[in-house]
Structure 1
Amino acid sequence: MKNSYLRHSYRRRNVTKLPVYKKAIHIFKLSRQIVEYLRGDTSVLELHKSQNQKDIYSDKLIMTSLGLAPKIAMAETSPDLNVKLASLSSLEQTTAALIQYCEKLELKSGKGKEFLHLLRTEIKKFGHLQSKWAVSIHSKN
């Protein structure tokens, strides 16, 4: 039992060093900055309450990108294979959703299209990193 715990906590400390984790944090920060540029001084809470389509997609973009890093940590550190697989599957769906939110914001927004295009490019890079990382997770088990 103790050996399993030590291995689990050792993995946890190294999650933040994973390229896929670092890219997830980068995507969240970039999403936040782009939404601040697009929506001005609108707080995240105001975005969440708004009925405006741009605000709704902006809120979804921020909140969805915020969930990337915890899902990576869950897949990397969980001793349960089912949890790992569920986290990997959820990450794939989340990545696809982020690209859709970027596309919808590009259609709805008059400004910032070049930034949204940049974010979409970063999300696609994340998808490639995620795929390689998922293979390594599967090979460990």
Structure 2
Amino acid sequence: MKKNYFRHGYRRRNVTKLPVYKKAIHIFTLSRQIVEYLRGEKSVMELHRSQSLDDVYSDKLIMTSLGLAPKIAMAETSPDINVKLASLSSLEKTTASLIHYCEKLEIRSQQGREFLSLLRQEIKKFGHLQTKWAGSIHSKN
């Protein structure tokens, strides 16, 4: 049976076409590739279990960047304004955390600094897209 996406005046939106969503996916992919370069072929579980600060920050970078796209989807598609606002607020904090993790890894890592700097630039671009997109969310409601 097909789900009814039109109840409560809600229409399903194609979130995957949003520039901010595409940038979030790009940041996750880039984060994973950089961590793979820095930490080798360690799995996320190995990074998570490790006591090494480098592994801890690497794990946090990956897991935090993984959370960007679902928060965007939640803010874009939820009919509840409180959910939208909570998602937008959470995205701002997440973006700041990502920059923090990049800086920590840059300080601790002798190799890969140029890649981490590139990731930080992409996160800042994401922040600009996010601000613009959040403004459009606010204006719709």
| TM-score for both structures, normalised by structure 2 | 0.94
2:50 matches 1:50? yes
Q: What is the CA-CA distance between 1:43 and the residue it aligns to?
A: 1.1
1:10 aligned onto 2:12: yes
Indicate the residue corresponding to 1:87 in structure 2.
87
Once the two structures are superposed, residues 6-51 of structure 1 have per-residue CA deviations (whole angstroms, 9 ceiling, x without a partner) of 963431xx10000000000000000000000000121110000001
Shift of 1:3: 8.2
Amino acid aligned to 1:108:
R
CA distance in structure 1 between the partners assigned to 2:79 and 2:123 by the alignment: 27
Query: What amino acid does structure 1 have at the position aligned with 2:12?
Result: Y
Q: Please give the alpha-carbon distance, in whole angstroms, between the structure 2 residues aligned to 1:130 and 1:21.
A: 9
Deviates more, 1:2-11 or 1:75-84: 2-11
Q: Distance in 1 between matches of 2:20 and 2:117?
A: 20
Q: Distance in 1 between matches of 2:82 and 2:8?
A: 21
Cα deviation, 1:41-75, whole Å, max 9, x if unaligned, reads 21110000001000000000000000000000000
Q: Number of residues paired by the alignment?
A: 138
User: Which residue pairs with 2:119 in the alignment?
Assistant: 119
Counterparts in 2 of 1:3 and 1:107: CA distance versus 1, 3 Å: closer
Whole-angstrom CA distance in 2 between matches of 1:70 and 1:10: 15
Measure, in 2, the Cα distance between the counterparts of 1:133 and 1:78: 15
CA gap of 1:95–1:3, structure 2 versus 1, over 3 A, is: closer
Deviation at residue 5 of structure 1 after TM alignment: 3.0
Structure 1 ranges of 4+ moved more than 4 A: none
Give the counterpart letter for 1:61 in structure 2. L
RMSD (CA atoms): 1.4
Distance across 2 between alignment mates of 1:3 and 1:50: 43
Q: 2:25 maps to what in 1?
A: 25
SS of residue matched to 1:111: coil
| Secondary structure of the structure 1 residue equivalent to 2:12 | helix
Runs of 5+ in structure 1 lacking a partner? Answer: none
Which SS does the other structure have where 2:29 is aligned? helix
Listed as ranges, the gaps of 5+ residues in structure 2 are none
- How far 1:131 moved relative to its partner? 0.1
Report the Cα distance in structure 1 between the residues aligned to 2:46 and 2:53, rounded to whole angstroms: 13
